[in-house]
Amino acid sequence: MLEVNKITGNKYRVIVKEKNNYSDHIVSIEPDYYQKLTEGKVSKDELLKQAFEFLLAREPAGSILSKFDLKDINRFFPEFEEEIKKQLK
């Protein structure tokens, strides 16, 4: 289960709950990057849920950084932007 809560304008808290595992993440989303990925067609909450689904398909929740900017995902997974755009269509 994924829970997304807005902290401030561009900062969100994402909680991942899986069976006996729990992880807590603070994620920033710059407005221009949000637009690049979504063209404003989905909410930031939905973008974060999809981004975490992408990450969880590749690594366990405990391996995901506790604090990061959304665009950092692309540094570790170069296919992220292309994949997330496909998922959001």
- Cβ atoms 11, 27 nearer than 8 A: yes
CA 24/CA 15 separation, integer angstroms: 5
Examine the pLDDT at 89 and tell me if it is beyond 90: no
Q: Which helix (H) or strand (E) holds 25?
A: strand 21-28
Number of separate domains in the chain: 1
- φ, ψ dihedrals at 65, nearest 5°: -55, 145
Per the structure, the complete domain to which residue 40 belongs is given by: 2-88
Q: What is the pLDDT of residues 36-67, one digit of tens each?
A: 999 999 999 999 999 999 999 999 998 999 99
Q: What is the pLDDT of residues 60-80, one digit of tens each?
A: 998 999 999 999 999 999 999
